């Protein structure tokens, strides 16, 4: 029988373990918590797989160097590490499969999709564990246990992950940043698939197919080199390509930077336009006042008009500043427990007076006691803006209802409503719907953009239902 040089095999086994170890460490250290990619939230699973796999391989190395030393416990530890590592791999692949194969096309029917149902944890884990136990029953030795783990969690985990990564790379949006990234996703996908195949070969001879025909011994007899060499190669490719795919976080950063640059550009051109209008009005007022001699009362009137334009400008500038501050602050770190019902009640009382003056009924239907983790000042701004809008856009004699049911804040008005096609725009800075007859309603179009930022910071959800001339209902669901 052919035998490879002892040292080369040792080096091979060592590098093999090392490549997984490096992969594990890089994954665990480079993941970004705030990433929007589903990948980032789950990639630690791959990290745990790689590290436990590295130790499993180093135990193999130890046993290879000291074939005479027999620690039965070590065998069990090795099988345990093998199982743990492949379960983590499988869980990661389950996630990749569920997410990357079911993109937006299927979104509505996602929950009914066969893949979605099959990969629901209780279903898939029951299925695969039955398979595992059955194979162990067929060959109940330590070699049999290892083969069963490889044939079930190992093979399917690596194989599905391979397919998933390949597909995921393909689904990235096309731009110059993604071309190389796509390639690395494909390489690591293919390497994982190949690794899956070799994983099924690295078994001792066992009593059932394919282990009875395809195993480490038959491989070396046919090809005259150990299958571990191919696995080692796969491990190196997987580690190198997977580490490169972590560039997805950098790609994300670049995309975010580009987006915020565009936002700033749009924001400043809007802002300068918005400031120009009241300034022009101011100049006009002053111009008129200076035109001919006037009596004291006329000068007073002019100054009053100028004053109100200045108040308007001041208000807008402070709103603008607030909006930029919300964008820059690292607010989540300063979250505290706040009683949402208390805040709602306070603002309700404040606004009752304003509503009454306008002849609009402002009513609280339900107010559950609820504590949430939040930034209290921002919560106030959020609720104030929603109530302010409801009062502003609801005509005299109509009604506004507020309720707080568990963690959902709800506000419904019988106001002028928002046309369906305009709803997506109302969160944009300075956007105002040009409804006929509401030209006298003053505003900067900044309220809802602040609301949107605050919602994002709190990871809350906002929903708007509106019908023109019937009214608007807005719900905000906090976590």
Smallest gap from Cβ 394 to Mg ion, in A, equals 12
| Contacts (Cβ under 8 Å, ≥6 apart) of 243 | 22, 23, 26, 27
Piece of 125-133, 241-249, 271-279, 437-445 that binds ligand ATP (CB under 6 A): 437-445
54 binds ligand ATP (CB under 6 A): no
- Min dist CB 444 to Mg ion, Å, is 8
Q: Does 393 bind ligand ATP (CB under 6 A)?
A: yes
Burial of 96 (0-12, 13-18, 19+ CB in 10 A): buried
**Interface pick for ligand ATP out of 12, 239, 383, 418 (rule CB under 6 A):** 418
Choice between 286 and 468, CB closer to ligand ATP: 468
Pick from Mg ion, ligand ATP, none: which does 472 bind, CB < 5 to 8 A by kind? ligand ATP
Q: What is the DSSP string of 244-303?
A: HHTTHHHHHHHHHHHHHHHHHHHHHHHHHHHHHHHHHHHHHHHHHHHHS---HHHHHHHH
Pairwise CA distance, residues 7 & 200, whole Å: 25
Q: Confirm if 160 and 96 have CB atoms less than 8 A apart.
A: yes
Query: From start to end of 143-256, where are the E strands?
Result: none
Residue 17 near Mg ion by CB under 5 A? no
**389 touching Mg ion, by CB under 5 A:** yes
Structure tokens at 118: 């099959």
Helix H or strand E encompassing 373: strand 371-374
Among 447, 450, 454, 466, binds Mg ion (CB under 5 A): 447
Q: Which is nearer to Mg ion, 89 or 426 (CB)?
A: 426
- For residue 444, the partner it binds in Mg ion, ligand ATP, none, with Cβ less than 5 to 8 A by kind, is ligand ATP
Task: Give the angle subtended at the CA of 476 by the CAs of 474 and 479, to the nearest 5°.
Answer: 165
413 binds, among ligand ATP, Mg ion, none (CB under 5 to 8 A by kind): ligand ATP
CA distance 336 to 393: 33
Q: Can you tell me the distance from the alpha carbon of 63 to that of 409, in angstroms, rounded to the nearest whole number? A: 63
Q: Does 203 bind ligand ATP (CB under 6 A)?
A: no
To the nearest whole angstrom, how small is the minimum distance from the Cβ of residue 394 to ligand ATP?
7
Burial of 35 (0-12, 13-18, 19+ CB in 10 A): middle
Helix, strand, coil fractions of the chain, as percent rounded to 5: 70, 10, 25
Distance (Å) of CA 18 to CA 45, 46, 124 = 18, 15, 31
Q: Which stretch, 113-121, 132-140, 229-237, 440-448, contacts ligand ATP (CB under 6 A)?
A: 440-448
Q: Do strands 399-405 and 361-367 pair parallel, antiparallel, or not at all (unpaired)?
A: parallel
From the list 253, 257, 309, the residue with the least C-alpha distance to 282 is 309
Kindly tell me which residue out of 92, 97, 417, 453 binds ligand ATP, with binding defined by CB under 6 A. Answer: 417
Cα end-to-end distance, the chain, whole Å:
65
Residues of this chain, 203-262, that bind Mg ion according to CB under 5 A: none
Measured from each CB, the residue nearest to ligand ATP is: 447
From 89-97, 132-140, 372-380, 390-398, give the range in contact with ligand ATP by CB under 6 A: 390-398
415 secondary structure, DSSP code: S
Query: Based on CB atoms, which residue is closest to ligand ATP, 323 or 345?
Result: 323
Residue 416's SS3 state is coil
Comparing CB distances to Mg ion, the nearer of 171 and 318 is 318
Given the complex with ligand ATP, which of 12 and 416 has the nearer CB atom?
Answer: 416
Candidate ranges 95-103, 175-183, 354-362, 381-389; the one touching Mg ion (CB under 5 A): 381-389
- Report the alpha-carbon distance of residue 346 to residue 343 in Å, rounded: 5
Q: Which of 17, 144, 162, 415 binds ligand ATP (CB under 6 A)?
A: 415
- When asked if residue 252 is in the footprint of ligand ATP (CB under 6 A), the reply is no
Q: Which of residues 216-235 bind ligand ATP (CB under 6 A)?
A: none
Residue 444 as a binder of ligand ATP (CB under 6 A): the answer is: yes
Query: For residues 210 and 424, which CB has a smaller minimum distance to ligand ATP in the complex?
Result: 424
Residues in 360-389 that interact with ligand ATP by CB under 6 A: 385, 389
Candidate list 378, 448, 460, 476; residue touching ligand ATP; CB under 6 A? 448
Listed ranges 102-110, 325-333, 358-366, 446-454: which one lies at the site for Mg ion (CB under 5 A): 446-454
Closer residue to ligand ATP (CB): 203 or 448: 448
- 386 to 352, 450, 476: CA distances (angstroms): 14, 11, 10
Contacts with ligand ATP by CB under 6 A lie at 385, 389-390, 392-393, 413, 415-418, 426, 431-433, 443-449, 472
């Amino acid at each position: 029988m052919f035998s490879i040089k002892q040292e080369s095999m040792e080096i091979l086994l060592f590098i093999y373990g090392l490549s997984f170890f490096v992969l594990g460490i890089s994954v665990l250290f480079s993941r970004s918590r705030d990433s929007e990619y589903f990948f980032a939230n789950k990639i630690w699973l791959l990290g745990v797989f790689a590290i436990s796999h590295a130790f499993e391989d180093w135990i193999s190395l130890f046993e290879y160097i000291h074939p005479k030393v027999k620690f039965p416990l070590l065998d069990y530890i090795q099988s345990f590490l093998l199982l743990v590592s492949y379960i983590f791999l499988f869980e990661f692949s389950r996630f990749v499969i569920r997410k990357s194969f079911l993109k937006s096309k299927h979104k509505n029917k996602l929950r009914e999709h066969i893949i979605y149902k099959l990969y629901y944890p209780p279903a898939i884990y029951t299925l695969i564990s039955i398979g595992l136990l059955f194979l162990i029953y067929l060959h109940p030795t330590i070699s049999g246990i290892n083969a069963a783990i490889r044939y079930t969690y190992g093979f399917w985990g690596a194989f599905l992950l391979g397919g998933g990564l390949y597909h995921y790379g393909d689904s990235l949006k096309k731009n110059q940043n993604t071309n190389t990234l796509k390639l690395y996703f494909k390489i690591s996908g293919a390497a994982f698939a190949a690794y899956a195949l070799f994983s099924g070969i690295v078994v001792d001879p066992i009593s059932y197919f394919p282990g009875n025909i395809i195993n480490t011994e038959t491989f070396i007899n046919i090809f005259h080199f150990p299958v571990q060499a191919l696995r080692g190669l796969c491990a190196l490719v997987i580690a190198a390509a997977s580490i490169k795919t972590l560039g997805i976080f950098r790609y994300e950063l670049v995309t975010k930077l580009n987006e915020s640059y565009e936002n700033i550009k749009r924001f400043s051109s809007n802002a300068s336009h918005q400031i120009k209008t009241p300034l022009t009005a101011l100049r006009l007022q002053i111009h008129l006042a200076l035109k001919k001699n006037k009596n004291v009362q006329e000068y007073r009137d002019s100054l009053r008009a100028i004053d109100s334009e200045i108040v308007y400008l001041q208000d807008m500038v402070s709103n603008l500043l607030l909006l930029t501050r919300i964008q820059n602050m690292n607010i989540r770190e300063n979250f505290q427990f706040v009683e949402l019902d208390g805040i709602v009640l306070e603002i309700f009382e404040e606004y009752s007076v304003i509503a009454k003056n306008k002849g609009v009924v402002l009513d609280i239907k339900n107010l559950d006691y609820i504590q949430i983790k939040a930034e209290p000042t921002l919560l106030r701004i959020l609720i104030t803006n929603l109530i302010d809008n409801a009062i502003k856009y609801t005509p005299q004699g109509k009604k506004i209802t507020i309720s707080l049911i568990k963690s959902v804040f709800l506000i419904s008005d019988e106001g002028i409503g928002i046309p369906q096609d305009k709803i997506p725009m109302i969160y944009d800075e300075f956007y105002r719907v040009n409804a006929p007859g509401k030209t006298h309603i003053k505003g900067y179009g900044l309220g809802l953009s602040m609301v949107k930022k605050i919602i994002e910071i709190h990871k809350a959800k906002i929903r708007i239902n509106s019908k023109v001339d019937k009214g608007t209902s807005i719900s905000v669901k906090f976590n």
